[in-house]
């Protein structure tokens, strides 16, 4: 197994080479290992996917449980893992820094922090506070004995505030605060992606999910995107198949959907030594 420092260096190198790369989002140890065996060079966790897998809603998993989860994934694979740490599990910058240090202690080599509050009356932190929270994450990362990468997320489009100008202004401020990667989930129009990429000088992560336009990795690379993630989409794909099969069992007493299941032998081959 590679050391944490070696994993961190490998992740940094992915962001520096030509073209774009996909960083998929498994939701448990089994799917993390499957992604690794399929050849993905880095993984990212999904807070929503993990929450669904344990019967909770997104943003309903606390810091301790999430840190345990991301640590289990990091320990299970030999590729670098970036953690979805939601909004850092606290409003204060010190709480964000604590969350990042705890994730790093469990083997994580990168993590993201959101600027969403989780409150309907004020869904985004005011920009100045959001910047301080990113800066706290960066300072915590720079205090580690390896190259921990910080992704700063502007959540405007996810909270119903599709303001590209403010999104870009936030990402530029997070860049100045030291973030290594910039991410605005929900930005999906070609023109918006191009404008965002041109407005910053750090690698940009784009979310490809079930909503919005569809682009190939090559097309996104041409737009200047460096990294592509899928959030909780893989989890929902799996749960879609589960619900289809379960509803057929319950409502019709039939078993035809089960015939489409991946064979145990294929899973055993992928997960085996």
Give the orientation angle of helix 29-37 with respect to helix 264-271, to 10 degrees.
Answer: 80
DSSP-based helix, strand, coil % in the chain, nearest 5? 50, 10, 40
Centroid of chain to Cα 215: 18
Predicted pLDDT at 261:
97
User: Tokens standing for 64?
Assistant: 């301790």
Mean pLDDT, to the nearest integer, of 108-118? Answer: 98
CA–CA separation, 25 and 52 (whole Å): 13
CA–CA separation, 195 and 161 (whole Å): 17
Instruction: Encode pLDDT of 227-239 as tens digits.
Output: 999 999 999 999 9
Instruction: Encode pLDDT of 127-172 as tens digits.
Output: 999 999 999 999 999 999 999 999 999 999 999 999 999 999 999 9
Number of neighbouring beta carbons within 10 Å of residue 212? 14
Domain boundaries, the chain: 4-231
Nearest to 53 by CA among 72, 37, 69, 38: 69
CA distances from 224 to 40, 174, 183, 205, 217 (A): 21, 19, 13, 10, 11
Check pLDDT > 80 for residue 211.
Answer: no
Whether domain 4-231 has CATH 3.20.20.60: yes
Tell the residue number behind the tokens 């990429």, with chain if given: 197
Mean pLDDT, to the nearest integer, of 197-209? Answer: 97
Predicted pLDDT at 199:
98
Predicted pLDDT at 214:
87
Which residues touch 14 (CB under 8 Å, ≥6 apart)? 21, 41, 42, 227
């Amino acid at each position: 197994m590679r050391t944490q420092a070696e994993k961190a260096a490998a992740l940094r190198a992915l962001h520096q080479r030509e073209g774009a790369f996909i960083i998929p989002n498994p939701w448990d140890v089994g799917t993390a290992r499957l992604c690794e065996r399929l050849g993905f060079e880095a993984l990212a966790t999904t807070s929503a996917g993990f929450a669904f897998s344990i019967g909770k809603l997104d943003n309903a998993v606390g810091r301790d449980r999430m840190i345990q989860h991301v640590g289990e994934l990091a320990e299970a694979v030999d590729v670098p893992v970036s953690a979805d740490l939601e909004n850092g599990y606290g409003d204060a910058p010190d709480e964000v820094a604590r969350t990042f240090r705890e994730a790093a202690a469990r083997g994580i080599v990168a993590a993201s922090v959101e600027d969403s509050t989780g409150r309907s009356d004020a869904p985004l932190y005011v920009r100045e506070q959001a910047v301080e929270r990113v800066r706290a994450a960066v300072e915590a990362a720079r205090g580690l004995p390896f190259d921990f990468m910080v992704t700063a997320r502007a959540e405007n489009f996810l909270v119903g505030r599709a303001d590209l100008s403010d999104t870009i202004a936030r990402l530029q401020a997070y860049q100045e605060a030291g973030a290594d990667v910039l991410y605005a989930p929900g930005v999906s129009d070609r023109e918006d992606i191009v404008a965002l990429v041109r407005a910053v000088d750090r690698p940009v992560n784009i979310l490809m999910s079930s909503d919005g336009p569809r682009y190939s990795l090559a097309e996104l690379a041409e737009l200047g995107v460096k990294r592509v993630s899928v959030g909780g989409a893989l989890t929902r794909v799996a749960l879609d198949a589960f619900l289809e099969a379960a509803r057929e069992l319950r409502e019709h007493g039939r078993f035809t959907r089960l015939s489409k299941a991946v064979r145990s032998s294929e899973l055993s081959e992928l997960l085996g030594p």
